[in-house]
Amino acid sequence: MKNLKIVIASDSIGETGEVVARAALSQFDVVVEERNLKRYAHLTDVKDIDNFIQSIKLDNVVVIFTFIKPELSKYIVEKLTQLNIPFVDVMTPVMDMLKEKLEDGPLYEPGRVHKLDADYFKKIEAIEFAVRYDDGRDPSGLKYADIVLIGVSRTSKTPLSQFLAYRGYKVVNIALVPEVELPEQLFEIDPNKCIGLEIDPSSLFEIRKRRLEQLGLLENAKYGQNERIEAELEYFHQTVKKIGCCTINVTNKAIEETASEIIRIMNL
C-alpha cells in the first residue's frame, strides 16, 4: 500500500465507489490514507475523463469507477485498457441486470441517488430529530419516535441514533442513571418501539476507564467503579422489565452491526 494509489472516479460524487473500495481494503493489512485513496468526482464528459487520466500517476495505480452514463464507462474502459491500468466498473453490471428486469429506466442522470425526494427529506428530518432529542433532552419527543433506545452511559446511544436516523428512523435515546428519574412518557410508549442496549460489565468497565483517562480524570472516580457498574446494570434490567421491551447486547459490536440488528427487530 505504501505506493499503491486507489482512485475512485465518478460522474457523481463517488461515494458508492469509495464504500466498495473501503470494504475491500479492510481485508488487507494496510492503513488507508487520504493520499492513497482519492476520489475524482463529477467527471461528466470525455474531456473530464481525459483530464482525470492525465492527472493520476500512471505507475502503481488502480481505478474503481461508478459512471451512470454508459458512454463514459465505455470511454474510461478503453483509455485504462490502453494504458494497462487495472480497473473495476462497479455500476455497469448492476445497471445491466436491472435494465433487463425493470421497464422504466435507466434515466442515466448522475447523482440521482442524492436527489431531493421524499426519502431524502425524511432522512434529514430524522437526523435533526435525533440531535434534538438526544440524551432525553426533551421527553416530549418520545411520542413521535419510531425507535426509543435506552441504556446506561457509554452504550453508544448517540451514534446508534444517528446511524438509524440516516436510515430514516426517528430516534430518541434516554440515558439510564439510577439517580435521575425517568420521564413518565417512557412508560406510555408502545414497548415494541423501545430497545434496551445491554453491555457486559467487564467491557463497560474498560470503556469507561479509557474514557476517564481521555478526560484526564482519576481512575477511581465513581463512574468507572465495578460496583457502580453493577448497580447501573441492575437498574437497567429493572427498567427494561418495567417497560417490557427487548434488549440487544452491544458488547464489542460495531454501530453498523447493532443498527442493522435493530432494523431487523423493528421490521419483524
Residues 108-137 that bind a second copy (CB under 8 A): 108-109, 111-116, 120, 123-124, 127-128, 131, 134
C-alpha cell at 139: 421527553
State the helix-helix crossing angle for 70-82 and 91-101, rounded to 10 degrees: 150
Per the DSSP assignment, residues forming a β-bridge with 6 are: 37, 62
DSSP state of 133: T
Query: Residue 158, annotated ligand binder?
Result: yes
CA distance 75 to 94: 18
Query: Residue 7, annotated ligand binder?
Result: no
Say whether the peptide bond before residue 106 is cis (omega within 30 degrees of 0): yes
Verify binding: residue 268, a second copy, rule CB under 8 A: no
Instruction: Between 167 and 187, name the residue whose CB sits nearer to a second copy.
Output: 167
Verify binding: residue 206, a second copy, rule CB under 8 A: no
C-alpha cell at 122: 425524511
Verify binding: residue 28, a second copy, rule CB under 8 A: yes
Q: Which of residues 52-91 bind a second copy (CB under 8 A)?
A: 60, 62, 64, 66, 68, 86-88, 90-91
Instruction: Between 37 and 240, name the residue whose CB sits nearer to a second copy.
Output: 37
- Span near a second copy by CB under 8 A; candidates 76-84, 157-165, 175-183, 189-197: 157-165
For residue 247, the SS3 value is: strand
Q: Which of residues 33-52 bind a second copy (CB under 8 A)?
A: 34, 39, 41
Verify binding: residue 11, a second copy, rule CB under 8 A: no
Starting at the edge strand that comes first in sequence, how are the strands of the sheet with 171-175 ordered?
Answer: 171-175, 147-151, 194-198, 246-249
Binding residues for ADP: 151-158
